[in-house]
A = this chain, B = another copy of it.
Amino acid sequence: MPRSSRETSTGGGDGPRIRPIGIIRSTLKKRATAPRQGAEGAPDAWLDVLPHYAAALDGLAAGDEVIVMTWLHEARRDVLKVHPRNIKRRPLTGVFATRSPDRPNPIGLHPVTVKKIVGNRLRIGPIEAIDGTPVIDIKPVLGRRRR
């Protein structure tokens, strides 16, 4: 079956596949009511790491500053320009000049603190990602501890 002309013309269907490594469990249930950034009043949440990837957590500890990367599964991937922060009077701007979730590869970057670790669950925050958001990576912030 033919793919859409857009996917055909960009080759967008041919890249590598993301492998979710965990999922966000949050009291935030809907994108429409979630803060746009973690520092804008977001809560803490649980990051449940899939058992297959639990060994990759070894070395993380409470107090660590990390970047959690998510796949913003409700985003639109065909949007190239947006009104920043969805304020209509602001001029249309290329998505690469904004932090819009709508973009060709809707990956969220969330700088958070690890509050505690219980088995393969991390308590993290503050984080604006909604409940059910797939997690695709966890990286330590470069700086004090270089690994």
Which residues of B are found within 8 Å of A52, using beta-carbon distances?
A: 9-10
Interface size on A, residues (CB 8 A): 56
Are B20 and A97 touching (Cβ within 8 A)? no
Among A86-142, those with CB < 8 Å from B are 92-99, 103-105, 107, 109, 134, 136-140, 142
A residues engaging B (CB < 8 A)? 9-21, 37, 50, 52-53, 55-60, 64, 66-67, 69, 71, 73, 77, 80-81, 84-85, 92-99, 103-105, 107, 109, 134, 136-140, 142, 146-147
A59 to B32, alpha carbons, bound, how many Å? Answer: 25
Chain A binding surface SS class: mixed
Judging by beta carbons under 8 Å apart, are A96 and B60 in contact? yes
- 16 residue pairs A–B, Cβ–Cβ below 8 Å: A13-B17, A13-B19, A14-B17, A15-B18, A15-B20, A16-B71, A17-B17, A53-B96, A58-B92, A59-B97, A59-B98, A96-B138, A97-B140, A99-B139, A103-B137, A104-B137
This chain's copy number in the assembly: 2
Alpha-carbon distance between A14 and B103 when the two chains are bound, in angstroms: 21
Contact A80 B105 (CB under 8 A): no
